[in-house]
């Protein structure tokens, strides 16, 4: 296990840490953006780009340099996985996200940490079993949609846009204090998942 492309990962995280500036701008045409706006992903380096609606429409094709990040959030209430299957994935914490990388031709597993998103070596046999039990995972958009798992308390499973995974990681990086994280970061994490449920 190791940090996944540190410079790129940290650039992604900076987008979700509170900024002094009040208005963000489209990184393609410089148009002013609302707080809630589109994102594009550059699969070659997993870089997220803020975009206006007009520019985002230009990148609907999977052959383009950028891929439009979808907005779908879905709570998977009947997700099939037991504790032994989760343990077999070798994720060191009870929170992670999984997406299919079109460049690597495989599913990638990352977990949020105070150091940023950390890649875990995903045992393919274990993942294949979970994939077969949950066919919805086969319909996720490559690179831009992920399975987000939260097993810290009551297990929760979501289909989310990849930018939501980086938003969660950014919160942890920004607010984590000491060895256990501190009260504030866990409140932020709870609020994050509460918002996900509202949007699902």
| Residue-by-residue DSSP string for 87-111 | HHTT-SSSEEEEEEETTTTEEEEEE
Q: 168-172: long-range contacts at Cβ-Cβ below 8 A with a sequence spacing of 24 or more? A: 168/95, 168/97, 168/112, 168/192, 169/12, 169/13, 169/16, 169/112, 169/113, 169/116, 169/117, 170/12, 170/13, 170/14, 170/15, 170/16, 170/17, 171/16, 172/112, 172/113, 172/114
Domain boundary among 32, 51, 68: 68
Give 93-129 pLDDT, tens digit per residue: 999 999 999 999 999 999 999 999 999 988 878 899 9
Domain boundary among 34, 68, 102: 68
Looking at the structure, do residues 187 and 153 belong to the same domain, yes or no? yes
Domain count within the chain: 2
CA gap 38, 34 in Å, rounded: 9
The whole-number pLDDT of residue 2 equals: 44
Query: Is the same domain home to 116 and 181?
Result: yes
Domain range holding 9? Answer: 2-68
Do 166 and 113 lie in one domain? The reply is: yes
Residues 50 and 98 in one domain: no
Q: What is the pLDDT of residues 141-159, one digit of tens each?
A: 999 999 999 999 899 999 9
Is residue 3 predicted with pLDDT exceeding 50?
no
| Confidence at residue 124, expressed as pLDDT on a 0 to 100 scale | 77
Maximal CA-CA distance, the chain: 49
What pLDDT score was predicted for residue 94? 95
Distances, alpha carbon 74 to alpha carbons 16, 54, 163, in Å: 21, 25, 14
pLDDT in tens, 11-64: 666 655 555 457 899 999 999 999 889 999 999 899 999 999 999 988 876 667
Query: What is the mean predicted confidence (pLDDT) over 66-90?
Result: 94
**Overall pTM surpassing 0.75 (yes/no):** yes
Q: Are residues 185 and 105 in the same domain?
A: yes
Last residue of a domain, one of 34, 51, 68: 68
Same domain membership, residue 183 and residue 127 = yes
Q: What is the pLDDT of residue 8?
A: 61
* Residue 177 and residue 78 share a domain: yes
Residues 11 and 108 in one domain: no
Instruction: Determine the pLDDT at residue 64.
Output: 76
Residue 1 reports pLDDT greater than 50: no
């Amino acid at each position: 296990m190791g940090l996944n492309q540190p410079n790129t990962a940290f650039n992604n995280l900076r987008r979700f840490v509170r900024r002094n500036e009040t208005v963000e701008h489209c990184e393609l045409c410089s148009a002013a953006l609302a707080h809630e706006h589109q994102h594009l992903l550059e699969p070659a380096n997993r870089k997220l780009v803020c975009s206006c609606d007009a520019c985002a429409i230009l990148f609907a094709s999977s052959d383009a340099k950028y891929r439009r990040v979808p907005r779908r959030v879905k709570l998977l209430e009947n997700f099939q996985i037991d504790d032994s299957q989760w343990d077999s994935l070798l994720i060191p914490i009870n929170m992670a996200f999984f997406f299919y990388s079109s460049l690597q031709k495989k599913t990638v597993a990352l977990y949020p940490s105070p150091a940023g998103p950390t890649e875990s070596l995903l045992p393919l046999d274990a993942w294949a079993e979970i994939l077969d039990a949950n066919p919805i995972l086969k319909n996720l958009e490559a690179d831009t949609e992920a399975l987000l798992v939260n097993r810290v308390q009551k297990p929760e499973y979501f289909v989310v846009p990849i930018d939501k995974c980086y938003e969660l990681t950014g919160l942890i990086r920004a607010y984590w204090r000491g060895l256990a994280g501190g009260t504030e970061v866990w409140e932020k994490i709870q609020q994050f998942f509460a918002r996900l449920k509202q949007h699902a």
